[in-house]
Every structure is written in C-alpha cells, then in structure tokens.
Amino acid sequence: MRTNDIIYLLHTGYTEDDLMNQIPFTERRKVYANKLALGANEFSAAGQNGLKPAKAFKIHAFEYSNESHIEYKKEKYHIYRIAENGDKTTLYCERSVGDGKD
C-alpha cells in the first residue's frame, strides 16, 4: 500500500509524580496513511448517531492499538469508528472541539 499522508495516533493516559498526583500525558506515534474520501452513506449513518464525519484514513492494521484520537495537519480528530479489512484498518474521524471526547 502506498501512503500519501502522515497522521499521528494519540495515546493518552496518566502518570504520577512524587506526591502521587495524577498527571495527564499524550504520546504521539507517527503512522503513514492514505486519506480517503467520505461517501454519502458514511455522512448519513454518522449523522443519524449525532456524529459529524470529517476524515477517513486507511493504515496497516498492525499499527492501530485502539487509540481514540489522531492528529492530522496539526488538527486533532476523534476516531468514532474503525473498519478492519484484512491487513488494513480504516479510521473514521470527526473533529475534536472540546466536546468531552478529548
């Protein structure tokens, strides 16, 4: 698979300092991807669930580890659906705008 785009898979979690305070962190992992066009069916199905699809990317399946967000061109996106097809995984994303999914 030729890849034309770079995305960053974002893993978020918490670590503790010396005083046992939880400190949030985000790890970025660079992944090569293909940006896909979203069809009318995707917009319709997502819209029925209150989602606003923005982007879709196809990556190698082994690179995806259940991350919930990606970064693409310095914009953050929430992964609302994945589709696995053999050794490829498609990530369907909507813009993250402080809606509680961050």
What pLDDT, in 10s, does the model give residues 37-61?
888 777 777 777 777 778 999 999 9
Average pLDDT over the chain reads: 88
* Best CA proximity match to 79, nearest among 61, 64, 91, 96: 91
Q: Model pTM?
A: 0.81
Q: Which residues of 43-75 are buried (b: 16+ CB within 10 A; e: fewer)?
A: eeebeeeebebbbbbbbeeeebeebebbbbeee
Which of 2 and 24 is assigned the larger pLDDT?
24
Percent of the chain beyond pLDDT 70?
92
Instruction: Please state the rounded mean pLDDT for residues 84-100.
Output: 84
For the domain that residue 87 is a member of, what is the CATH number?
A: 2.40.10
- Kindly indicate the confidence band of residue 95, based on its pLDDT and cuts at 50, 70 and 90: confident
Measured CA to CA, the distance from residue 64 to residue 89 in angstroms comes to 8
Predicted pLDDT at 67: 95
- Kindly indicate the confidence band of residue 96, based on its pLDDT and cuts at 50, 70 and 90: confident
101 domain residue, yes or no? no
Task: Enter the DSSP assignment of 38.
Answer: P
Distances in Å between the Cα of 62 and the Cα atoms of 46, 66, 100 are 26, 11, 28
Query: How many domains does one find in the chain?
Result: 1
102 domain residue, yes or no? no
100 domain residue, yes or no? no
* Best CA proximity match to 65, nearest among 4, 5, 3, 13: 13
